[in-house]
Structure 1
Amino acid sequence: MLNKTSESKVLRDPIHEYIHIEDQLIWDLLACREVQRLKRIHQLGTTYQVYHTAEHSRFSHALGVYEIVRRMVNEINGIDEILNEEDKIAVMAAALLHDIGHGPFSHIFEVISKVHHEDITQKIILEDSEVHRVLEKAQSGLSKVVASILSHTHPKAVLSQFVSSQLDADRMDYLLRDAYFTGTSYGKYDLERILRTFVVNGDKLTVKESGIHSIEDYIMARYHMYYQVYYHPVGRAVEAILIAFFKRWVDLTKSDPSITQRYPMFRFLLGKVELDPFYHLDESTCFAGFHMASVEQDPILKDLAERLLNRRLFGYVDVKNEDERNVIRQKVEKTYDSRYYFYQDEMSSRPYSPYQEDESLIYITLIDGTIKELSQVSNIVAAIVAAKPKDDKKVYFPKEIL
C-alpha cells in the first residue's frame, strides 16, 4: 500500500529550506541502512582537501534530489496529464535512491574497483536488501519499476529524465549544494525560475521559451563548477595518491596474501563487490585502513598512507605532449617507483551536448507551441556546443623532485 504519513514530515536543508515528506514509503526508505550509509560518504569525494567546508554527504544530496523531484511532479504545468500517482511515488523513490551504489571517495571507487555505482545501485534495489524489502512491502513489483527508471528502461522515458538527463534534479541539486558548501559562487543559478518554466509538451518535459535565460545560467554554472571545483588539480592530486595506495595494496597481496586478513575493508579491490560487505564500506572504514598502513613495514604503502592522512600531496604540472611527460617521469624514477609516484591525468568536459540520447536533451517549447532543442534557440548554448572542448592534461608526482 502506498500510504501517506500520519503527519507531514519536514527536514531542514540549507539549499531548499525544507525537505517535505508526506509518503510513508519515502520515510521508510530513509531509515534503510543502505540509505543511512550515504551519511558516511562525502558528496565531493576528496574535494574537502581543497575547500575545507565541503564536508557534505551523499545523504544530504539524495534528499535534495528527492525534494526537487517531489516539487516537479506536483508543480509542473500539465504533469498530471502524463503521470499517475504511482508514477510519482516511483520517481520520487528513484530520486532518493539514485546514489546508493556510490562507494567511498566519489568516482575514484569506480576507477579502483572497476565497478560502476549504477550497477551496485541496481543490485541493492533488486536483490535482498532493506531497500528492496521496503519497496516490495509498499507495492509488489515496485523495486523493478524504480530500477527501470534509473536504468532508463521504463516505458515512460520522462520519469528517467527527471533523475538523469542534462537538466535533471541530480544536477540541479548538486550544483547549488556544492557551491554552497565549497563557499564558491560558480554553481549558482535560478532554480525557482526553472521549476516555474517547466512545461509538459506531448510526452516530453520541456522549458518555456521565457525560461531560456535561466537554463543558460544553469549551463554556465555547470561549466564553471567543473573546472573550478570538480576538476580542481589539488583534489585530483589527492585522488592520484588514493589510486597509488590501492594499487600498491593490491600488488602486496600477491606476495603476502595475509594482508587481506589484516585489511578486510580493502577486499573489494580483489574481485566483484558483494552487497553485504559493501554496506560496511565507507570512508571511515577506509581511513581506519590508512591509519593501519601508516605503520606498515612496506615503505611505499606506509608513505602513501601518511600522505593521505597528513595532506602531503603530490605536485603537478601541465603537459602538452608525451615528450614533456617523459621528462617528468624520468625525474621521478631517479628517486621513486613511477608505478605509484607518477600519475597522468586528462580531463575534458562539455557543459551541454546536443548529440546525446533524445531523453537527455533539453527542449524548449516556443510561444507557438513548437518544440526545439536548446542549442537551436540559444546563441550562448550554440556557441558552447560549437567551441572545442577544454582539455586539461597534467601529471602528478612528489613535489620533492622539483
Structure 2
Amino acid sequence: MLDKKITNEKVLRDPIHNFIHIQDQVILDLINTPEFQRLRRVKQLGITSSVFHGAEHSRFGHSVGAYEIARQITEHFDQYYGDVWDSNERLVTLVAALLHDVGHGAFSHTFEHLFGTDHEAITREIIMGDTAVHTILAQVSTDFPNKVASVIAKTYENPQVVQLISSQVDVDRMDYLLRDAYFTGTKYGEFDIDRILRTMRPTPTGIAFDIAGMHAVEDYVVSRYQMYLQVYFHPVSRGMEVLLEHILTRVRELYQASHHNPVPEKDFVGPLLAPLFDEKPLELDDYLKLDDNVFMTYINIWQSHPDPILSDLSQRFLGRRPLKSIAITNETAPLLGELEQLVDNAGFNPDYYTARNDAYDLPYDDYKPNVAKPRTQIDFLLADGTHRELSDLSTLVAAIKGKASLDQRFFFPKEMLNIEPDELFADTFKTFRSFIRNNALTTPNPET
C-alpha cells in the first residue's frame, strides 16, 4: 500500500480548528481534484443564509474540518491505544472523513428531496467511478477505493472506522455543529470537543468514551438537539426552501410541456440543467457540473420568464420574500383544506403557493436491533471495565432519548395577511386572517 508522507506539512487556516494539518500526499491530491473543489460552490447550509446571514460556509470547509477531527483522533489512538487500534486503519479513516460529503448536490438536502438523489450513493459512485478521485485512491492500492466506499456504505469490516465516520458522535456531526454555530452566530452548537476527543477510546466492538468525558458528551447531544430546533428547523429557512422546490417543480412542468409544443421552448433551462429534467437517469458528469451558483444564475434569469408563476416565485426567492407559516396541530390540521381553498380564491395557485412541510430529527436513541436503521449507542467505560449507555448516566439525555423532534408547518403567501380590507377578495382575506390570528402559532425564533 502506498502511503506517502508530505516532506513539509501543509496547513489550511480554519476558523473552527485553527489549522487543518495535511500530512499525506493522497489527502492533498484528493483536495485538489475537480470533484472535491466543487464543494467550494455548495453551501453547507443551503439557503439558511437568508435567515442567518453569516451562514455562507461551504461543504468544502466542513469536509476538511471533518478530516482534521479524524486526523486528531487517529493520532491519539496511534499514541495511546495501539493494543486495540490498528494504525493501518489510519489512512482509510482520514480519506473517508475527507470524502464523506463529496457527493452532495446543489442546495444539498433540498436537491435530494426534489430529484430523488442520494448523496451517499453518489459519493460511492465518485469513489468507484471514472473520476480523478478514484484514480488517486487506486494509486494507494487496487482495493483502496473499495475500502473507502465500504466505509461510506457502513459495511467496512472494522466497526471502529465506521463509527468514527458515521455514528451518534462522529467526525461529521462534531464538525458541522461547531461550524454551523460559528457561522450562524449562535451558541447552541458549541461543546467541548477537546474533552470529547481526549476521552474517546477504541474498543473491540467500536468506539466508547471514558466516564470522565460523560458531561462533555452530554453537552454535545443537548447542543445538537438545540441546533435542530433553533437553526435547522427555522420556519423562515423552510419557507425559502419551499419556494426553491416550487421553482424547480414549475421548471420541470414547463420543460416537459414544451415537448408537446410545435416549437419546443427548452432554452430557458440551458445545457447544464437540461439533463435534470429529461426524465432519464442523471449521468455523474452532468451531476458534478451542478452547484449552487448554476441554480442561482438560472433563477435570476427566470425572474423575467413569461410564465407568471415561475417569474413571481423566482422574484420572491431572490428578493427574500419567503412564504409564511403556521404550525400544523390537531386543531389546525382539519382546516388546512379550507385554507388552501382561500389561497386559491385569492388568486394564488395552491400547488405553488402553499405547502405542508415536516422537519424531523431524532436527537438521540439507544441501540435497537429490530428497527430499520439501528443507531450505534453512546457507551462509556467505567473504572471496573463495564459499559454503560449514555442515557443511563444522564437525566438530560434520558429526557430526550427516543423522542423525535417534529415540526409540521403549513406555508402560504404573506399577502394573505397583509392585503387591505377594501381590496379585491376582501372577505377571503378577512376570513384567512381571522383564522390565522385565532389559531396560528408564531415562530419560536426571534430571527425573521
- Name the TM-score class by shorter chain: over 0.9
121, 133, 136: which one pairs with 1:134? 136
**Which secondary structure does the structure 1 equivalent of 2:401 belong to?**
helix
- Indicate conservation of the 8 Å contact 1:47/1:54, yes or no: yes
Seen in structure 2, the aligned counterparts of structure 1 residues 359 and 352 have a Cα distance that, compared at 3 Å, is: closer
Q: With CA pairs under 8 Å and 6+ residues apart, which has the higher RCO, 1 or 2?
A: 1
Alignment of 1:5-20 (within 5 A): 5-20=6-21
2:312 paired with 1:303:
yes
Runs of 4+ in 1 over 6 A off after TM superposition: none
The correspondence for 1:354, drawn from 356, 366, 371, is 366
1:274-353 to 2 correspondences below 5 Å: 274-321=283-330, 322-334=333-345, 335-353=347-365
CA contact (8 A) 2:160 2:203 kept: no
Match of 1:268 in 2: 276
Q: Which residue of 2 aligns with 1:371?
A: 387
Q: Deviations over 1:12-61 (max 9, x none)?
A: 11100100011000000000001000000000011000000100000000
Q: Residues 357 and 409 of structure 2 are in contact (CA less than 8 Å); yes or no, is this contact kept in structure 1?
A: yes
- Give the superposition deviation at 1:86: 3.4
Q: What's the TM-score once normalised by structure 2's chain length?
A: 0.86
Alignment of 1:78-227 (within 5 A): 78-227=80-229
Other structure's SS at 1:6 match: strand
TM-score, length-normalised on structure 1? 0.96
Q: Is the 8 A contact 1:82 1:203 kept in 2?
A: no
1:374 to partner: Cα distance? 1.5
Paired letter, 1:380: L
Deviation, structure 1 residue 356: 4.9
**Structure 2: distance between partners of 1:37 and 1:297:** 32
Question: What one-letter code is carried by the residue in structure 2 that aligns with 1:300?
Answer: I
- Unmatched 5+ stretches in structure 1: none
* Identity, % of aligned positions: 40
Counterparts of 1:33-44 in structure 2 under 5 Å?
33-44=34-45
Given that 1:38 and 1:58 are in contact with CA atoms closer than 8 Å, whether structure 2 keeps it comes out as: yes
Q: Cα offset for 1:138?
A: 2.4
Note the aligned Cα RMSD (angstroms). 1.6
Deviation at 1:320, TM superposition (A): 1.2
The aligned amino acid for 1:275 is: L
TM superposition shift of 1:343: 0.7
- 2:412 is aligned to 397
**Tell me, which stretches of 5 or more residues in structure 2 are unaligned?**
418-448
3-state SS in 1 of match to 2:256: helix
Contact 1:197 1:208 in 2 (8 A): yes
Q: Computing the radius of gyration over CA atoms, which structure comes out larger, 1 or 2?
A: 2
Counterpart position of 1:4:
5
